[in-house]
Every structure is written in C-alpha cells, then in structure tokens.
Homo-oligomer: A and B are copies of this chain.
C-alpha cells in the first residue's frame, strides 16, 4: 500500500497531480500558492475519491443491511485502518473521526478534562500554541478551578527546556503541545515532552496539525496519549479531522457530542455509551471526506518521508537565503535547518497585510495576521507577521517569485 510508486519525483512532476496549480488566478497570473500551513491543495486522486464515493456507492455507514451500506462502511473503516497505521496506533478503535483538529482538542478538553481535572490541577501548554490548543484549555481550567501554565520560548523560538523542568510537578495533569509551530516553524521535541509527562504522571496531547504532512507521525514512540490533526492540511478534503487516543483513556472518558451512533441504549432518562470508536462519533460522520482522507494518506506515503523532507528543506533553505537578503526583512524562529517548511517574517515599515495584498498582485498567496497565535505574537511583541509556507508541489522558482514580489512591494510602498 505504501510502496513507492514514484521512486523519484520532483515538484514539477508532482504539480500535475494538483489541478488547481494549473489554473490562472482571476488577475491572469499563475498561482504561487505559499499558504500551505493554512490549508493545502488537493491532488486529483483525493478529489476523485470524494467524487467516486458520491457517484458509485454513497449511502450511510454502519447500517449496511444493504449492499451500498456494506461498501461505504468498508471504505470508511478502510480509511480508519490506514490512519491507524499512519499514526502507528495499536488498534483502529483508537482512531476517532472528527471535523478537524479544533474539534479533536475540544473533545479531549471536555471529555477528558471535565472528568479528570480538579481544583488546583495544572494544564501545561506552550507559548507557541495555536488558539485551538489554548482556548479549549482556558475554558475547562476555568470551569474546574484548575490552572493553565505556559512553557516559555527562547529568543530563537524554541521551547525553554530548563523552564519545562521547573514547571512540571505533581499538579501537572496534562501537557498539550504542538509538534510544529504554525508561525515559528519550530519542531518540538516530543520525546522530551513525553518523558516529562511520564515523569509527573501527566497526559500528553500533541497537536500534529502542522507536522502531519511533513514528517512521520507515531503515537507509540515517543508515546503520546492523544494526537489531533486535520485532513485539510495533509492534502485531504475539508471537513474531516482525526483524534487518536489511547484505548484506556478513551474508555474512561465521557463522550463529548451526543446523539445517534454513539449510544448503546437510550432510555427515557439515561443512556449508555457505545463501544469505541462509536462512543465519540455522534451523528452521521463526514463520510466522503473521511474516505478521501484515506486516499490523501496513501498519496503522502507514496511520496515518501525522506523525499518530502528533502524537497521541503531545499525550499525552506532557499527561502531563508533569498528572504534574508531583502532589506528590512526579519524572520522569526529558528534557523532554516531546524524548522518545518514555514517562514514567518516582518518587513520594516511594511504592514504584513499590505505586503500580502501586494505580493498577491504577483500571484503569490501568503498569509498575514496573528495566525491564530495571539499569545505568541504578544511574546514576540508583534501584532502581525507575514507567513510563507511550503508544500511538496512548490518550486524554487516560486520561492524566487516570492522574493521578487516582496521587493516589488517595497518599491510600491516607496521603501526603496
């Protein structure tokens, strides 16, 4: 299944898999899509998987007393099994389909937190977390009179390991941390965090939204308790996400959403919960997106992690090199070799929003804003940054177009 069908591929060959990359923008420019950390484009195989589901065997799942139902259930459960292997989980029942990373983390904050957090307990997050891995914890610690604590970052944008040591303790019940910062590009040391968690008996949740398309994911080494990601950032359809949870924990937790499918028996005043994974999958699942996610995972595995890494680090290094040559441009976070394919930056006297609009005139899609990391931007003492983020289909030429577009923007803004 994961046999390398493309032993060698380049951005040029891979681009043909993504129909949108061949289209022209409304302004007639070719698209230079460098907003991959927000969401990635979809290869034809994924688009077709969704279409085929609707055109040939669509019906509701888990009710297969008819042939379509059997087929669609087989496809959905096949996708679950692929995801299980992809994240290295022991059992398919540990894979919960959700609507996205945000929903996955909310599920844990509520289903685990409401049951297992008590007054005075501490939840440890980092200063670089996405709002999705902050706000749900803020809410549940408030409800429980527990406390949210932040692992600070160093000047280079890495987790401060010494501070980590002093933050963990017997009150630490949960460490919730991103595998890769969506702003700094920092790749966090999950091994160290996993050890920290076991040293104090805390649970470890990793938000793998940013890393999942760029490096291997494994929930057993180092061992994590929960792992969340979204399909739309790994070349999959929109509307589907995943929560991995260790069986014992999922079994001990309360359900989050309630309704059909997640129950065993419903009586007038009480209900009993179904088995895993149904217990956490209330209502009709996003069936076609879930099936399409399985195809996306096949696609990524066929590319191969080493190849993906090589292509993306080449892009990131080039971007580092050409961007740092631009006067007044400052990159935040660690050096090119120690980060994912994300580069956030500011340009003196050029507001990120103006910059993004100006490079868009050249067909270059980047992002500007706080990227759902306001506390991080407070630490950086910045209101907003511009961000370019790369995927397997980006080319070195596109990196150069970005740099030229930024130079052009500076000229338009009378900065050179």
Contacts and interface: CB of A to CB of B under 8 A. Distances in A.
A215 interface: no
- Identify whether the interface residues of A are mostly helix, strand, loop, or mixed: mixed
A135 B102 contact: no
Contact of A106 (B20, B102, B258, B357): B258
Residue of A42, A230, A366 ringed by the most chain B CB atoms within 10 A: A42
A374 B260 contact: no
Give the contact-size bracket for chain A. 35 or more
A270 B58 CA distance: 43
Nearest to A56: B23
Interface string A287-303: 11100000000000000
Q: How many copies does the complex hold?
A: 2
A374 B265 contact: yes
Contacts of A237: 54, 239, 288
A31 interface: yes
A69 B102 contact: no
Interface string A258-298: 11111101111111000000000011111111000000000
Given A103-B257, A135-B266, A284-B230, A66 B35 contact: yes
A71 B24 CA distance: 13
A410 interface: no
Nearest to A66: B365
A356 interface: yes
Interface stretch (A81-89, A126-134, A187-195): A126-134
A39 interface: yes
A19 B58 CA distance: 11
A270 B368 CA distance: 24
Interface of A: 19-20, 23, 25-27, 31, 33, 35, 38-39, 41-42, 46-47, 50-51, 54-60, 63, 65-69, 71, 99-103, 105-106, 109, 130-136, 138-139, 142, 148, 150, 230, 232, 237-240, 257-263, 265-271, 282-289, 353, 356-357, 360, 364-369, 372, 374-375, 378
Counting from the closest, the 8 A-B pairs by CB-CB distance are A102-B283, A239-B286, A239-B239, A132-B259, A260-B372, A135-B258, A102-B259, A65-B356
